Structure 1
């Protein structure tokens, strides 16, 4: 039983990783201002009860608190986009928590 849960979590992690990376890429590209920066998805961690995904991101060329605050403020919007993309593959879409990867 534990092995099945582990395999299921790995599959869900890879699905969420790909979709969140694409959402971040599209949204940051369209909302980019004069400042040039790059947001990279490093890793994600899903809680066992599927209530939360911790999303670790890196911001290039330097960690800007305003960009991180902007991304965190739009986490509900990103969750909604994620639910639209995965509505037939995943039943429950967890909340997203964005953290800076140091």
Structure 2
């Protein structure tokens, strides 16, 4: 993965838990921020840290359009999208080099 590449990502608090959809140009930095709770907001408040899906794009406007599209989807559609490639809701960030999340 390039250091800077437009990306739409979905985080979850757990299997079938709270979902968050975001867009970034640097997935690794953004994941670090979410996982460490470095920014105030929805994901920190709801402990949404598990990367369950991401899509890479060649340019930012297309990534932003995809993010907006997914945010308009019904929850069931989002769950189906996640489960197409990640039926166990595994934390995909681990395969990108992040340590597994610790449950408390």
**TM value normalised by structure 1:** 0.28
**TM value normalised by structure 2:** 0.28
| Higher-helix-fraction structure | 1
Structure possessing the higher radius of gyration over alpha carbons? 1
